[in-house]
A and B are shown apart, each in its own frame.
Chain A
């Protein structure tokens, strides 16, 4: 792996959540992301999986500095993004873009497709001529599989898949080096998902993009990622190369996730064993002591309640945070 484009170290994002109080509000910290570290190289995709409330979307936004970071560092080619002022950060934004889950909600309903795609260009290259912008937009549209003739249409006139292509074009037009994909295919129809996944992979190949691919769908993550990180209540449970993780998951949570994914094959689906986990997701305001997963874990013992498991190496590039991963 080449030198990292992005190096995230011990990143923490805590929100202050109001918890009653009579005259003055009491605040409790919600640790949405709590000490996450990873590297990302150019041309590499890191898949981030976890269930709702695990902090995966917060992590993506914190990396892009769209949310205030509580502690830790996000280094972009060695320079810490959290230390930049507004102006420097704006300049950096050319290199880092985001693609959202809801294709329609991420497009301004009052703007045409062309204006939406051109907006980043207008923000960064205010001197550019109208004709040059138009040419750039048309070329981008062709690349993401939209017909240039659709440039004057409005978002509501497109299907979900086409809207997502507009969102991808907007993210790609400045030629970014990193794209955070926040559940980019979850809201799409099954027959459209594969199209968008292929498009993202083609773009990555063509431009050497680094991608953070956030999803709850393990099948999709396995298909698109080079490395995969599993989050639970804001903490890393396991991180490994794609094949290592899917062949030999070490963490009970990863195992539970994988065996819970339904397989579109009636025989395999009915015969497959499952790692059962507890029903209740603990409140993120009051996470369990020690290992956060212990309340649902089939392997939990006393040590899990007392000691926070550190990330241990379980093979080359494979780290797992569990006291019992060797069992």
Chain B
């Protein structure tokens, strides 16, 4: 808030021209950019995402290609162009790590998006409409909470077969619960704000008020939660993969690579350390970014 709250003369000066206001989003962005940890996190995340998406095309080996000359775990070797070596089946570790990153990030982002849409919709409706609707929706959420996740995923897998898409749905279907609760709580406090009453007094319908006033005002909190959910989902995916319920060979993800690497730990620790390092750095960066976002979006805490 620089010159804006200013003196009446500040106001007189811009009488001629229309000045652009600075929205809360712009303010938050500025604060985020001033936070070194968050910016570093963001930059590294963008790099990892870029390398994961583009990298596999540039490498001499693909993720599922077996180097038949060496069907064993090889150390890094420039001559064979296995820059990170190979896994126990002779597949290029770098290519697999990058491809695994692509899958892990995709699962993380897509499943979170699913959670975001369901969670915000349900939470905002439950919180704003209240009464019966709220009761039924939230009891359903409670019910879903009480179903064990693995059990739920196994049932889905059994019914629909193992499927890549199913995984997004399964994880998303679980993660939206918390999102819905958070959004509902936020909506309940917003509902009693005077600007909501003002919107009603000026003839706004319920749907209009939810879309126009409630959702934009809960987005800040939601975004923080999203950045904290993505790493959670990545972990969840690796857990499911670990149980053999996730991605299928020869496709891979960080979780699976870590699982494979753990088996090879004594022979070639490299196969564990490299994907684990990628995943850890990514999770760290998401957490830093999430923290930064929370500080940026909630200026009362500064």
Please tell me if A279 contacts chain B, counting CB pairs below 8 Å.
no
Number of B positions contacting A (CB below 8 A): 34
Number of A positions contacting B (CB below 8 A): 40
- Cross-interface CB contact of B198 among A96, A100, A110, A154, cutoff 8 Å: A100
> When each residue 174-205 of chain B gets 1 if its CB lies under 8 Å from chain A and 0 otherwise, what string results?
00000000000000000001110111111111
Q: Which among A66, A110, A147, A153 has the highest number of chain B CB atoms within 10 Å?
A: A110
| Cβ contacts under 8 Å, B198 to chain A | 98, 100, 106-107, 167, 170
How many Å from the CB of B122 to the closest CB on chain A?
21
| Cβ contacts under 8 Å, A110 to chain B | 23-25, 216-217
| Cβ contacts under 8 Å, B11 to chain A | 147, 150
Asked if A149 and B15 make an inter-chain contact with CB atoms under 8 angstroms apart, the answer reads yes
Asked if B14 and A109 make an inter-chain contact with CB atoms under 8 angstroms apart, the answer reads no
Query: Which residue in chain B gives the minimum CB-CB distance to A105?
Result: B194
Asked if A97 and B204 make an inter-chain contact with CB atoms under 8 angstroms apart, the answer reads no
Q: Which among B11, B25, B198, B205 has the highest number of chain A CB atoms within 10 Å?
A: B198
> When each residue 154-167 of chain B gets 1 if its CB lies under 8 Å from chain A and 0 otherwise, what string results?
00000000000000
Query: Which residue in chain B gives the minimum CB-CB distance to A152?
Result: B21
A 272-308 contacts with B by CB, 8 A: none
Please tell me if B58 contacts chain A, counting CB pairs below 8 Å.
no
B 208-263 contacts with A by CB, 8 A: 208, 212-213, 216-217
Please tell me if B4 contacts chain A, counting CB pairs below 8 Å.
yes
Please tell me if B146 contacts chain A, counting CB pairs below 8 Å.
no
User: How far is A101 from B21 in the complex, measured between Cα atoms in Å?
Assistant: 24
Please tell me if A156 contacts chain B, counting CB pairs below 8 Å.
yes
How many Å from the CB of A222 to the closest CB on chain B?
26
Please tell me if B1 contacts chain A, counting CB pairs below 8 Å.
yes
Asked if B201 and A123 make an inter-chain contact with CB atoms under 8 angstroms apart, the answer reads no
Given contacts A112-B21, A170-B202, A149 and B14 within 8 Å (CB-CB): yes
B 1-52 contacts with A by CB, 8 A: 1, 4-5, 11-12, 14-25
Please tell me if A205 contacts chain B, counting CB pairs below 8 Å.
no
Please tell me if A207 contacts chain B, counting CB pairs below 8 Å.
no
| Cβ contacts under 8 Å, A97 to chain B | 201-202
Please tell me if A148 contacts chain B, counting CB pairs below 8 Å.
yes
Asked if B203 and A150 make an inter-chain contact with CB atoms under 8 angstroms apart, the answer reads no
Asked if B203 and A109 make an inter-chain contact with CB atoms under 8 angstroms apart, the answer reads no
A 191-206 contacts with B by CB, 8 A: none
Pairs across A and B, CB under 8 Å, 14 listed: A90-B203, A97-B201, A98-B201, A106-B195, A106-B198, A108-B216, A112-B23, A123-B208, A147-B15, A149-B14, A149-B18, A150-B19, A157-B4, A159-B5
A sample of 20 more A-B contacts (CB under 8 A), given A66-B201, A153-B19, is A64-B201, A90-B203, A93-B202, A96-B201, A98-B198, A105-B194, A106-B194, A108-B199, A108-B213, A108-B216, A110-B25, A113-B21, A124-B203, A150-B21, A152-B20, A153-B4, A154-B21, A154-B22, A157-B1, A157-B4
